Structure 1
């Protein structure tokens, strides 16, 4: 399992403080939105050559951890 905490960064002045990949201006939301719209991981990696497969896996790990820590009402 990838340690997303080494890959996903949050900087107040970058993309309005949204979680980004390695300080790039690509957010976790962007990756999930691309996947939800039908892009494959391979297409995302082609479109954004600075990204790695591990970066995309880190987005999933970040989201899973966030979901795990949600408090249900």
Structure 2
């Protein structure tokens, strides 16, 4: 995934994959969406992140999953 979007640094959040330049773990985004929270809720709770950036991470994750999925 593009390092302009996400980064892992052992000195930040114990090495959790975070949105680049923040201490916000990407896992938080998926936890929000998995639960009863919306993308709007996530953006409201993490104002340092733009909608465009968050959507770009979701799109990159989707592309990665599709590329890694075995053929039927």
Aligned to 1:41, which of 39, 54, 68? 39
**TM-score (norm. length: structure 2):** 0.72
The runs of 4+ residues in structure 1 deviating greater than 6 Å are: none
**TM-score (norm. length: structure 1):** 0.71
Gaps of 5+ in 1: none
Gaps of 5+ in 2: none
Q: Which has the higher contact order (CA 8 A, sep 6+)?
A: 1
Query: How many residues are treated as equivalent by the alignment?
Result: 70
| Superposition RMSD in Å | 2.4
